[in-house]
Structures are given as structure tokens and as C-alpha cells.
């Protein structure tokens, strides 16, 4: 237990809290400490009765049933692997910028969730982070089921298609991809590659709350065209139940 505690404490702040709150709220709902109904994102209670905690609890809560438990664990692994990869990679030393990315993606998930009756936000939120990682590491080779290998930029779409074939529905995954693409386009592609104005900037107040830890420069450089980490970890993906995500891992080395 001490080893697990030490490992958890060593995680960067936002990955640690996101993973910890997800496990905590899901366990609370599983044990019926509070009614799971109060944790869902539902339009009428949220908008008409001002139950404003629902957009937050819908991000962290995932219903644990015999048919969803395995997928929940895979979601937690994706959350850990890709959030950790971004927070210690492209966003290393820039906690305000990373928090703003999570905040932007979450707000988009809440808006879509209210309009499209999407009560749980874990799937689209995790996939939006996965999509951004894949775009920033687009030429890293990943491995999927049956030994297939391809560039990371295709991984979100492979997961979308795989789930569409197996379960007949990939709406949550598609929402996550579109939200991740919206952030990546506004933050990186449009101002840096297309020469447009910067339409998405981290608010200054976030830099006061989470100061830049290196360089003293806010913002980002151009997204890397090809980055292959020397020691990359495994990122398997397989889904059962409602969502079916495949198996993948990042291959390190040259």
C-alpha cells in the first residue's frame, strides 16, 4: 500500500486529481452512499433546478456494473497514460496551460452532454485528451490488435471504427474526437500553421493560480511534427460492454 501511495503522490497534480476523483466518485455511486441519479448530467435538473454539481460529478462518476467494470478500468488506464503523457510532455512546467486544456474540453463536453442527453462525460473527455496526445505525437508508431501498426494520428479513428463495428455505436468517442480536434485546431493549427489569429488563450488568472515552472513564458511553440520518445510505455486498449476499444502501445526507440 505504501508503494501505491508513493506512486499516486508522484503523479502530476491534474492527472492525480482526475484519476483519484474518478475512482472516488465511481466507488461512492457503486456503494450507493449517494444516489447515482444525482451524479448524472441531466438537462432538466441541471438547467431548470440549478443542480450545478452535475456537470462536475458527470465527469468523475462512471457506473460500475458487471458489464462496464472492465471498460471503466481501461478508461482509467487511458486517462492515466495519455493525461500523464501530456502533463509531463508538451505541457511540462505549464500547469496553467494544461488545466485550461482540460477546462476547455470539459466545458465542450458539458454543452454537448446537455444538448445530446449524454449523462456521463468520462468517455468523451478521455478520448479528447487521447486525440490531442496523438496529434502532438502523430508520427509515433502504435500497435493495435492482431499486430497492426500505424501512426498515432490514426489511433482515435481506429478506436472509433472498431467500436462502431463491435457495438454499433460510437457517439461518445466521436464527441471526444471532435472536441479534441477543436482544441488542437484553435490552439495550434490555426494560429501557427494557417497564420490566423490566436483565438484560444489561457486566461491570465490561471497563471496566477498555477505559475509556469520553467522559462517564464506563457503559451506554446509549434506542435512537434515527429516525436518518438526514447522510453515510451505501453498503452493497451480493449473494450467490453458498451464501448470496445482496441489494444495499442507506443513503441519507443528509433
CA distance 13 to 88: 10
CA distance 211 to 182: 25
Domain membership of residue 3 (yes or no) is no
pLDDT in tens, the chain (254 residues): 678 889 999 999 999 999 999 999 999 999 999 999 999 999 999 999 999 999 999 999 999 888 777 788 888 988 999 999 999 999 999 999 999 999 999 999 999 999 999 999 999 999 999 999 999 999 888 877 777 888 888 888 888 887 787 666 678 989 999 999 999 999 998 888 788 788 899 999 999 999 998 654 444 444 444 444 434 334 333 333 344 444 444 433 33
Domain membership of residue 72 (yes or no) is yes
DSSP 169-185: --HHHHHHHHHHHHHHI
Task: Report whether 74 contacts 238 (CB < 8 A).
Answer: yes
Residue 214's pLDDT is: 65
pTM for this entry: 0.81
Domain membership of residue 141 (yes or no) is yes
Q: Which of 212, 209, 191, 208 is nearest to 200 (CA)?
A: 191
Domain membership of residue 95 (yes or no) is yes
Domain membership of residue 4 (yes or no) is no
Instruction: Write out the H or E segment, with its range, that includes residue 216.
Output: none
CATH code of the domain in which 118 resides? 1.20.1540.10
Residue 130's pLDDT is: 94
CA distance 90 to 82: 11
Task: Report whether 136 contacts 86 (CB < 8 A).
Answer: yes
Q: What domain range includes position 57?
A: 12-250
Residue 75's pLDDT is: 85
- 194 three-state secondary structure: coil
Domain membership of residue 6 (yes or no) is no
Domain membership of residue 197 (yes or no) is yes
Instruction: Write out the H or E segment, with its range, that includes residue 225.
Output: none
If 0-12 CB within 10 Å is exposed, 13-18 middle and 19+ buried, where does residue 119 land? middle
Overall domain count for the chain: 1
Amino acid at each position: 500500500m505504501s508503494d501505491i501511495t508513493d506512486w499516486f503522490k508522484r503523479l502530476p497534480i491534474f492527472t492525480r486529481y482526475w484519476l483519484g476523483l474518478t475512482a472516488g466518485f465511481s466507488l461512492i455511486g457503486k456503494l450507493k452512499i449517494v444516489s447515482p441519479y444525482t451524479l448524472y448530467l441531466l438537462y432538466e435538473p441541471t438547467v431548470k433546478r440549478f443542480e450545478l454539481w452535475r456537470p462536475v460529478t458527470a465527469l468523475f462518476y462512471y457506473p460500475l456494473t458487471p458489464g462496464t467494470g472492465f471498460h471503466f478500468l481501461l478508461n482509467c488506464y487511458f486517462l492515466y497514460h495519455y493525461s500523464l503523457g501530456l502533463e509531463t510532455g508538451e505541457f511540462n512546467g505549464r500547469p496553467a496551460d494544461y488545466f485550461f486544456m482540460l477546462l476547455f474540453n470539459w466545458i465542450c463536453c458539458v454543452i454537448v452532454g446537455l444538448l445530446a442527453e449524454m449523462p456521463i462525460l468520462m468517455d468523451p473527455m478521455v478520448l479528447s485528451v487521447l486525440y490531442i496526445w496523438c496529434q502532438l505525437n502523430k508520427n509515433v508508431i502504435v500497435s493495435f490488435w492482431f499486430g497492426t501498426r500505424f501512426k498515432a494520428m490514426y489511433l482515435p479513428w481506429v478506436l472509433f471504427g472498431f467500436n462502431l463495428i463491435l457495438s454499433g455505436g460510437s457517439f461518445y468517442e466521436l464527441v471526444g474526437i471532435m472536441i479534441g480536434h477543436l482544441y488542437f485546431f484553435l490552439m495550434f493549427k490555426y494560429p501557427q500553421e494557417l497564420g490566423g489569429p490566436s483565438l484560444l488563450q489561457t486566461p491570465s488568472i490561471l497563471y496566477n493560480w498555477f505559475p509556469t515552472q520553467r522559462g517564464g513564458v506563457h503559451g506554446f511553440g509549434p506542435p512537434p511534427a515527429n516525436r518518438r520518445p526514447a522510453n515510451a510505455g505501453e498503452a493497451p486498449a480493449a473494450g467490453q460492454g458498451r464501448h470496445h476499444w482496441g489494444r495499442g502501445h507506443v513503441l519507443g526507440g528509433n
